Amino acid sequence: MARIQLQFLSDEEKQHIHSAALDLLDKIGLRIVDAEARAILADAGAHVDSNMQRVRFPVPLVESARQKVPSEFTLYGRDPQDQKHVVHLKPGNVYYSTNGYAVHWYDPQSETRRPITQEDLAWITRLADAQEQLDIMATIGTPVDAPAETNDRYQQVISLLNSTRPVLNTAYGKSGVRDNVEIATIVRGSREALRQYPLWVVDLTTLSPMELDERQASAMVEAARQGVPIGISPGPIAGATGPVTLAGNTAMATAELLGAITLVQTVQPGTPVLYTSYTRSLDMSSGQLAMGGPEFALQRIATAEMARYFNIPSRGGGLITDAKAVDAQLGVEKLLGCLLPSLAGLTVVAGFGMVDTLNTVRPEVFLIDNEIVSVVRHTLKSFEVNEDTIPHDLIAEVGPGGNFLTAPHTLEHFKRELWFTRLWERRAWEVWEREGRLDVAQRAWKMIGSRTYAVPPLEQQVVQAMWEVVRAADRDLARS
């Protein structure tokens, strides 16, 4: 468990953001394209203009819904008895995940980038699953050789077949939610077992500024009815789809989140919610999206603090970079984006393996990110100060000019006190030179090449049943 040490927003500033978000929902509201979602909110007391598809939210309705969100919930891996993959999501705990949904992957062998296929996604998922610092498997890529309309089902099956960890994946509308619930139920064995040991968080988004489109709104309604934990993620771009000021962008994202939470809790009070935010900014010099700079890290801190203010578990990008190469930019942006939100207590810090502003996966980067998370986790532990860790008698015994290398106290404590690297280069220059002068990306790729990545297989009838859900969705698509 992290010691929460970093505070960016004062209590008054968090209250100001909260009040601004409520005011935006009350006076402006959200455009909600889904008619059923609008009707649900109208019955609950929201002010609905069906012609404009506009829903305004009275403050008491929003506050009542917010207070129904559980402050914590637990996810389980493919084997619910495997304690290594139990993830207890609550403010103050910090975990790490991959991030979806890249469309390319970089092949270090050929030094080329190409679209991700189903086969690629399966291998990349197994590679990610092998990283011991990874806690949650967010679907990493969008395979180009799967139908666009049912790609979410392919992603769900590939993630569950090739990972032992809890899964975070999107769903395309009501039918997507139902199919992905069925796929997860097949893996778990029964609907009751899936409710008891949640395996999947459905990852849904708002459309900034201030909108829920038909697919996302209908999926939120269905997921709440199904009792599925929901990650709700606004992603306004400061200077483009959101105010250029980080406070304004954060307030608008908070309004979008609270509006979506109100919908979900109206459908099914007590639905677990992962308070997610991908607020980012526009690089005004290039016109490109920026997710690796200090603004992105600051907005992740704000996400963590606002979620803790509301007493809801949180999630956001952290191991994210705009860099394409494995270079100094990548290292700076990933460490900045990982360390600061972790210190602030962001419950799930996402981004394992991603470069190119989430568009591209690089296999070597999974190992690099694993090392970065290991560094951050060691930092979060801080160190203990007591009589045992300040050994007065030993210091006196060794005395001036001595050394502590062979002392029993060193043997007893060094593994806990000192961080050990598997990837960084710490050896003598001559050794590094003799072994090929490899940089960190080359060393990581060499390590990858020396291993075979596999996960325990599911029973064949389970695999067949999962794929039959996908094939049925494809058949329905072909008939429509």
Per-residue pLDDT, 4: 57
Helices (H), 45-149: 59-66, 118-129
Please give the mean pLDDT across all residues of the chain.
Answer: 96
Distance CA 93, CA 299 (A): 19
| Three-state secondary structure call for residue 281 | strand
pLDDT tens-digit profile of 338-392? 999 999 999 999 999 999 999 999 999 999 999 999 999 999 988 889 999 999 9
DSSP-assigned states of every residue in 145-164: TS-GGGHHHHHHHHHHHH-S
Written as six digits, the tokens of 469 are 């859900």
56 vs 76: CA distance, rounded Å: 37
DSSP result, 412-454: HHHHHHS---SSS--S-HHHHHHTT---HHHHHHHHHHT----
Residue 309 Cα distances to 210, 237, 278, 305, 459, angstroms: 22, 23, 18, 6, 44
Distance CA(147)–CA(173), nearest Å, equals 15
Kindly list the structural domains of the chain, giving each domain's residue range(s) and its CATH number in brackets, ordered by start. Answer: 1-382+419-480 (3.20.20.480)
Chain centroid to CA 90: how far?
A: 14
Burial (Cβ within 10 Å: 0-12, 13-18, ≥19) of residue 250: buried
Both tokens of residue 55? 């829903």
If 0-12 CB within 10 Å is exposed, 13-18 middle and 19+ buried, where does residue 190 land?
exposed
Phi-psi group of 68: left, alpha or beta (phi > 0 → left; psi -120 to 50 → alpha; rest → beta): alpha
Specify which residues 360 forms β-bridges with.
Answer: 104, 355
Amino acid making up residue 72: E
* Segment 255-286, tens digit of pLDDT: 999 999 999 999 999 999 999 999 999 999 99
Between the alpha carbon of residue 172 and those of residues 178, 187, 271, 449, the distances in Å are: 10, 20, 19, 36
Q: Which of 263, 265, 259, 250 is nearest to 304 (CA)?
A: 250
Tally helices (H) and strands (E) across the chain. Answer: 17, 21
pLDDT in tens, the chain (480 residues): 445 578 899 999 999 999 999 999 999 999 999 999 999 999 999 999 999 999 999 999 999 999 999 999 999 999 999 999 999 999 989 999 999 899 999 999 999 999 999 999 999 999 999 999 999 999 999 999 999 999 999 999 999 999 999 999 999 999 999 999 999 999 999 999 999 999 999 999 999 999 999 999 999 999 999 999 999 999 999 999 999 999 999 999 999 999 999 999 999 999 999 999 999 999 999 999 999 989 999 999 999 999 999 999 999 999 999 999 999 999 999 999 999 999 999 999 999 999 999 999 999 999 999 999 999 999 998 888 999 999 999 999 999 999 999 999 999 999 999 999 999 999 999 999 999 999 999 999 999 997 889 999 999 999 999 999 999 999 999 998
Beginning with the edge strand found earlier in the chain, give each strand of the sheet holding 137-138 in spatial order.
95-98, 348-352, 314-317, 273-276, 230-233, 200-205, 167-169, 137-138
Strand 54-56 and strand 47-49: pairing?
antiparallel
CB burial readout 154-169, b (16+ within 10 A) else e: bbbbbbbbbbbbbbbb
In sequence order, the β-bridge partners of residue 48 are: 55
Provide the pLDDT for residue 1.
42
Q: Residues with Cβ < 8 Å from 228, sequence gap 6 or more?
A: 177, 181, 198, 200, 201, 202, 271
Do the beta carbons of residue 32 and residue 211 sit within 8 Å?
Answer: yes
CB 422 within 8 A of CB 446: no
Distance CA 223, CA 332 (A): 38
Return d(Cα 47, Cα 33) in angstroms, integer. 15
Under a CB-based contact definition with an 8 Å cutoff, are residues 231 and 168 in contact? yes
Nearest CA to 128 out of 117, 113, 141, 118 is that of 141
pLDDT at 100: 84
**In b/e form, how buried is each residue of 439-475, taking b as 16+ CB within 10 angstroms?**
ebbebbbeebeeeeeebeebeeebbebbbebbeebbe
C-alpha to C-alpha distance for 333 and 340, rounded to whole angstroms: 11
